[in-house]
């Protein structure tokens, strides 16, 4: 994985000192809150319901064992013994003190980490495929491109006060595991007919109150113009994105209002101009970055056999491991969705343990997924049972990846100052319901996503089943959506009808799954059946 | 406290700034004021006659002025670009990188804080027109990039 | 009644205006009548509180009850982690927020 050189380290260290100075000026009264707020947000520090919350960047979701250990230590030293892994592949802490925030950033900087631009109206942490470098189906590892973009976007002087936040995802396989087309810019690294590597740009996707799937504005940007083209996309947005209404300020609205063709024309015009400005790093810089993401020293001649005599282990292997490009290896997913648990939460001890397991079993590397789980990307099949036993002894072996129990849920009204309803209790009740009825396994792949407000941090638009919490006259109410997907077949869910209370929504979800079980044809997932038969049979069963 | 922070050796021009719209009609004016919604590119044919461009930041969160300044510098404008309005020390470093060389904030800045903000960043990741070699250029032995 | 709440600038803790200062416990909150803006401006300027705002509340046998669920959750803590609320010994404390 990427290692900082002295320049990278100096940038992060300088930011720590800058934020220490800003915090000092806030506490001394020199900086009032309205001036300090955007500065703290640019360092990922929010004020939430119960305290400050700090969001730490995990660039493209990749972490070393030592970094993971420090994330666990921070949870103990500065927070209340746990952290929350997020849909942006980051981690956030819920009980932070302002006075201590600069010290946390200093601790992070020691292991090449930071909270730079994890909030605010700027280019956020770059996300990517959590199986990058391991997936059997990828063209190339997307992370060197993500790293190049990370450096370009960090402290970008022109784009520090954008109309709104800006999220970029980079993938390099046709299977989309990063919700690429639901980002402000989604980049797919592709190969053209001439066999050259380049980048397809999808611009103007997003969730929130006006969900949109990003159109492709350029099918092939040559690699030696990746940064310049990105800069052109951003400059058009910075100049013309709406600033009169924060709910219409994301780039998706600009692309939608201008139309894809006109937005593209403006980008191409700006790109033509910027090409003469010398802002593109040389390809040598990309070549400098690439070796950091080279394959680890996979052993040759390993067996692909797995001893499946323990049924619990066999189920976990079937559910939670993914094919790897190297023979004899798999990617193992550690579910942070224990039945009845809080999606994405892990205790300090669990975080440290996962870091140690990354070191011991996965070439010192782990990944955060946007579905709020942890991946050990490169595990020898022969050592899988040993790994499973350790996970099992520590409450980390739940075999439910991509099932209805593998729920994405935002923190909701239990923690978040924007939320209208609680998300976590609904997730807990649903996973308990389906685990107790034994239907989880029967239902197969079923992605359920819950947001506690219209901002859609829980990706409810993109769930096969989505749930949106709303405030109905001061009472929590939950709307049901069906038919969303954030994979390569991206689609946006549709609302079934009137909402439900907390118990009612759990029943409604179960009725929807019963329709699927009754109507499904061979090999169909829930989403496939819904797409084939449409909303009506589900509505009928739910509202009857 | 600093009321006008300026990084130029020429005498400040204090001729009144006209709006971009007015400038279209009276191109003999020496100073222009760009509001966030204005298109800086409308000034490009006239840059040789302009001694000062003021870019207004009615609220610091409106970042269109950053692009306006860069566009002028990328077009070769060498006169003064002055940030006016809601401008504070914590924006100085980024504004400098975008081509601003004068600052006249509504609320005067603390000298020491301004000095610290401008001296803080030894290196930069991006290339702009400010003449600083980005980190990628330093890494590849091209400090003049 | 109108009560005034905010967060502690340094620690971020949820606090309630008691008439003399700020308390972590909503039951210490007093009716501020029409003085909310005045107190909020003064306290914020002296950096005793961050982002203060006034809310409607009632009193019942349990004490002061904020009018909106959001502020009841602020007063208690996260309902999904009873151990981290202000009533860690009472696993059913979360029912109060509904």
B contacts of A7 (beta carbons < 8 Å):
123, 135, 138-139
Helical spans, DSSP H, in A362-422: 384-393
Q: DSSP label at B56? A: E
Domain assignment of residue A354, yes or no: yes
Instruction: Give the whole-angstrom CA distance, residue A268 versus residue A228.
Output: 11
What pLDDT does B22 receive? 86
Residues in contact with B45: Cβ distance below 8 Å, sequence separation at least 6, in sequence order: none
* A112 and A144 in a common domain: no
Residue of A nearest to B137 (CA): A281
Domain assignment of residue A126, yes or no: no
What pLDDT does A262 receive? 98
pLDDT tens by residue, chain B, 145 residues? 889 999 999 999 888 899 998 887 776 778 999 999 999 999 999 999 899 999 999 999 999 999 999 999 999 999 999 999 999 999 999 999 999 999 999 999 999 999 999 999 999 999 999 999 999 999 998 765 5
A contacts of B98 (beta carbons < 8 Å):
157-158
What pLDDT does A420 receive? 97
Examine the pLDDT at A35 and tell me if it is beyond 90.
yes
What pLDDT does B144 receive? 59
A contacts of C84 (beta carbons < 8 Å):
80, 95
A contacts of B70 (beta carbons < 8 Å):
158
Instruction: Give the whole-angstrom CA distance, residue A105 versus residue C46.
Output: 27
Helical spans, DSSP H, in chain B: 20-25, 64-74, 89-97, 111-119, 135-139
What pLDDT does A544 receive? 86
Examine the pLDDT at A318 and tell me if it is beyond 70.
yes
* pLDDT, tens digit, 9 for 90 and up, residues A436-487: 999 999 999 999 999 999 999 999 999 999 999 999 999 999 999 999 999 9
Instruction: Give the whole-angstrom CA distance, residue B89 versus residue B109.
Output: 7
A contacts of C95 (beta carbons < 8 Å):
none
Instruction: Give the whole-angstrom CA distance, residue A448 versus residue A414.
Output: 19
* A273 and A142 in a common domain: yes
Q: Which of A383, A400, A417 delimits the end of a domain?
A: A400
Query: Does the CB of A475 have a partner CB in chain C at under 8 Å?
Result: yes
ipTM of the complex: 0.97
The sheet with strand A216-222 has its strands ordered as A127-128, A168-171, A185-191, A197-203, A216-222
DSSP code string of A72-141: HHHHHHTSSSEEEE-TTS-EEEEEE-GGGHHHHHHHHHTTT---TTSSSSSB---EE-TTTTTBTT-SS-
The CATH class of the B5-139 domain is alpha beta
What pLDDT does A70 receive? 98
Domain assignment of residue A297, yes or no: no
Mean confidence (pLDDT) of chain A? 97
Report CB contact under 8 Å: B136, A11: no
* pLDDT, tens digit, 9 for 90 and up, residues A165-222: 999 999 999 999 999 999 999 999 999 999 999 999 999 999 999 999 999 999 999 9
Q: Is residue A390 within 8 Å of A103, Cβ to Cβ? A: no
* A342 and A238 in a common domain: no
What pLDDT does B29 receive? 78
Of B61, B127, B134, the CB nearest to A121: B61
Instruction: Give the whole-angstrom CA distance, residue A101 versus residue A47.
Output: 12
Residues 88-147, chain A: which have Cβ within 8 Å of C?
A: 94-99
Q: How many domains does chain A have?
A: 3
Sign of CA dihedral A529, A530, A532, A538: positive
Q: Is residue A267 within 8 Å of A232, Cβ to Cβ? A: yes
* A415 and A396 in a common domain: no
What pLDDT does B143 receive? 63
What pLDDT does B145 receive? 54
Instruction: Give the whole-angstrom CA distance, residue A335 versus residue A408.
Output: 11
Residues 375-434, chain A: which have Cβ within 8 Å of C?
A: 413-415, 417, 419, 422, 424-425, 428
Please report, for the domain that includes residue A50, its CATH number. 3.90.480.20
Please report, for the domain that includes residue A438, its CATH number. 3.30.413.10
Q: Which helix (H) or strand (E) holds A66?
A: helix A65-77
Helical spans, DSSP H, in A164-310: 226-240, 251-258, 260-274, 283-289
* pLDDT, tens digit, 9 for 90 and up, residues A82-93: 999 999 999 999
Instruction: Provide the greatest CA pair distance for chain A.
Output: 67
**How far C84 CA sits from the closest chain A CA (Å)?**
8
* A419 and A394 in a common domain: no
* A480 and A536 in a common domain: yes
What pLDDT does B42 receive? 95
What are residue B82's DSSP bridge partners? B54, B102
**How far B132 CA sits from the closest chain A CA (Å)?**
12
* Best CA proximity match to A509, nearest among A454, A465, A444: A465
Instruction: Give the whole-angstrom CA distance, residue B67 versus residue C70.
Output: 40
Q: Which chains touch A (3 or more CB pairs under 8 A)?
A: B, C
What pLDDT does A426 receive? 98
Percent of chain A topping pLDDT 90? 100
Examine the pLDDT at C57 and tell me if it is beyond 90.
yes
Number of Cβ pairs < 8 A linking chain A and chain B? 104
What pLDDT does A18 receive? 97
Q: Which of A400, A424, A448 delimits the end of a domain?
A: A400
**How far A345 CA sits from the closest chain C CA (Å)?**
11
**Given phi > 0 = left and psi -120 to 50 = alpha, else beta, which region is A463?**
beta
* pLDDT, tens digit, 9 for 90 and up, residues A246-282: 999 999 999 999 999 999 999 999 999 999 999 999 9
Number of Cβ pairs < 8 A linking chain A and chain C? 68
* A107 and A3 in a common domain: yes
| 3 state SS of B17 | coil
Examine the pLDDT at A310 and tell me if it is beyond 70.
yes
What pLDDT does A196 receive? 97
Radius of gyration of chain A (CA): 23
Domain segments of chain B as ranges: 5-139
What pLDDT does A404 receive? 98
Percent of chain A topping pLDDT 70? 100
Domain of A464 in residue numbering reads as 408-543
What pLDDT does A255 receive? 98
Task: Name all contacts of B98-101 with Cβ < 8 Å and 24+ positions apart.
Answer: B98/A157, B98/A158, B98/B66, B98/B67, B98/B69, B98/B70, B98/B73, B98/B128, B98/B130, B99/B69, B99/B70, B99/B72, B99/B73, B99/B128, B99/B129, B99/B130, B100/B55, B100/B69, B101/B6, B101/B7, B101/B8
Of A47, A51, A425, the CB nearest to C51: A47
Residue A482 has a CB neighbour count (10 Å cut-off) of 25
* Best CA proximity match to B72, nearest among B61, B59, B63, B82: B82
Domain segments of chain C as ranges: 2-97
C contacts of A425 (beta carbons < 8 Å):
79-80
pTM score of the predicted model: 0.97
* A366 and A241 in a common domain: no
From residue A385, give the alpha-carbon distance in Å to each of A308, A339, A340, A403, C41: 9, 22, 25, 22, 61
Sign of CA dihedral A39, A40, A43, A49: negative
Report CB contact under 8 Å: A238, B63: yes
What are residue A198's DSSP bridge partners? A190, A222
C contacts of A50 (beta carbons < 8 Å):
12-14, 74, 77-78
* Best CA proximity match to A468, nearest among A482, A479, A483, A484: A479
Residues in contact with C60: Cβ distance below 8 Å, sequence separation at least 6, in sequence order: none
Q: What share of chain A is helix, strand, coil (3-state, %, to 5)?
A: 40, 20, 40
* A260 and A186 in a common domain: yes
Q: Is residue A214 within 8 Å of A248, Cβ to Cβ? A: no
Q: Which of A257, A289, A321 delimits the end of a domain?
A: A289
- Three-state DSSP string of A462-477: HCCEEEEEEEECCEEE
* A413 and A393 in a common domain: no
What pLDDT does B27 receive? 65
**In chain C, how many H helices and how many E strands?**
2, 5
| 3 state SS of B67 | helix
């Amino acid at each position: 994985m990427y290692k900082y050189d002295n320049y990278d380290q100096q940038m992060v260290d300088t930011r720590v000192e800058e934020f220490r100075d800003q915090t000092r000026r806030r506490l001394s009264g020199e900086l009032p809150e309205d001036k300090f707020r955007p500065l703290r947000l640019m360092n990922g520090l929010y004020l939430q319901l119960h305290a400050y919350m700090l969001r730490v960047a995990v660039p493209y979701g990749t972490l070393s064992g030592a970094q993971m250990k420090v994330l666990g230590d921070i949870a103990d030293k500065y927070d209340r013994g746990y952290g929350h892994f997020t849909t942006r592949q980051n981690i956030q802490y819920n009980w932070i003190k302002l006075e201590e925030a600069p010290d946390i950033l200093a601790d992070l900087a020691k292991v090449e980490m930071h909270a730079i631009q994890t909030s605010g109206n700027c280019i956020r942490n770059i996300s990517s495929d959590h199986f990058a470098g391991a997936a059997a189906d990828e063209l190339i590892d997307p992370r060197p491109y993500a790293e190049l973009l990370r450096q370009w976007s960090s402290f970008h002087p022109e784009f520090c006060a954008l109309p709104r936040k800006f999220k970029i995802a980079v993938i390099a396989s046709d299977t989309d595991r990063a919700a690429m087309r639901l980002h402000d810019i989604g980049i797919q690294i592709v190969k053209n007919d001439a066999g050259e590597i380049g980048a397809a740009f999808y611009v103007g996707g997003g969730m929130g109150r006006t969900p949109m799937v990003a159109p492709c504005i350029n099918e092939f940007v040559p690699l030696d113009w990746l940064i310049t083209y990105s800069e052109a996309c951003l400059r058009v947005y910075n100049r013309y994105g709406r600033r009169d209404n924060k709910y219409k300020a994301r780039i998706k609205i600009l692309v939608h209002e201008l139309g894809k063709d006109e937005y593209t024309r403006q980008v191409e015009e700006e790109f033509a101009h910027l090409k003469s400005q010398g802002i593109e790093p040389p390809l040598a810089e990309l070549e400098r970055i690439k070796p950091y993401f080279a394959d680890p020293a996979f052993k040759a001649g390993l067996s692909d056999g797995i001893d499946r005599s323990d049924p619990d282990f066999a189920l976990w292997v079937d559910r939670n491991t993914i094919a790897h490009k190297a023979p004899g290896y798999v990617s193992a997913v550690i579910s942070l969705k224990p039945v009845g648990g809080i999606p994405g939460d892990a205790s300090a001890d669990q975080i440290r343990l996962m870091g140690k397991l990354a070191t011991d079993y996965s070439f010192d590397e782990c990944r955060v997924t946007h579905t709020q789980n942890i991946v050990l990307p490169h595990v020898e099949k022969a050592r899988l049972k040993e790994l499973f036993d350790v996970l099992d002894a520590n409450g980390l072996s739940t075999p439910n990846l991509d099932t209805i129990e593998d729920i994405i849920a935002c923190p909701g009204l239990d923690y978040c100052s924007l939320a209208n309803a609680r998300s976590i209790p609904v997730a807990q009740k649903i996973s308990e319901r389906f685990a107790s009825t034994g239907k989880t396994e029967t239902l197969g792949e079923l992605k359920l996503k819950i947001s506690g407000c219209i901002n859609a941090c829980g990706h409810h638009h993109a769930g096969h089943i989505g749930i949106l919490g709303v405030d109905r006259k001061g009472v929590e109410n939950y709307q049901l959506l069906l038919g969303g997907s954030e994979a390569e077949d991206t689609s946006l869910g549709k609302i079934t009808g009137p909402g439900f209370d907390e118990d009612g929504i759990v029943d409604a979800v179960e009725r929807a799954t019963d329709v699927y079980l009754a109507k499904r044809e061979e090999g169909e997932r829930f989403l496939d059946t819904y797409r084939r038969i449409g909303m009506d049979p589900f509505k009928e069963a739910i509202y009857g | 406290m600093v009321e006008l922070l300026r990084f130029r050796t020429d005498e400040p021009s204090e001729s009144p700034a006209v709006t971009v719209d007015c400038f279209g009609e009276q191109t003999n004016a020496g100073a222009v004021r760009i509001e966030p919604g204005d298109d800086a590119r409308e000034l490009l044919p006239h840059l040789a006659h302009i001694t000062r461009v003021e870019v207004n930041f009615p609220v610091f969160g409106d970042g269109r002025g950053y692009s306006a300044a860069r566009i002028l510098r990328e077009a070769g404008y060498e006169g003064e670009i002055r940030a006016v309005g809601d401008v504070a020390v914590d924006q100085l470093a980024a504004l400098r990188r975008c081509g601003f060389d004068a600052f006249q904030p509504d609320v005067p800045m603390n000298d020491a804080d301004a000095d610290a903000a401008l001296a803080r960043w030894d290196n930069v990741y991006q290339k702009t027109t400010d003449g600083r070699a980005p980190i990628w250029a330093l890494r590849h032995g091209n400090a003049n990039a | 009644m109108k009560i005034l709440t905010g967060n502690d600038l340094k620690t971020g803790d949820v606090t309630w205006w008691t008439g003399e200062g700020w308390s972590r416990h909503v039951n210490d909150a007093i009716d501020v009548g029409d003085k909310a803006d005045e107190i909020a401006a003064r306290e914020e300027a002296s950096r005793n509180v961050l982002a203060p705002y006034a809310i409607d509340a009632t009193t019942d046998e349990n004490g002061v009850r904020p009018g909106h669920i959001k502020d009841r959750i602020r007063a208690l803590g996260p309902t999904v982690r009873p151990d981290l609320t202000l009533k860690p010994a009472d696993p059913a404390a979360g029912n109060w927020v509904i």
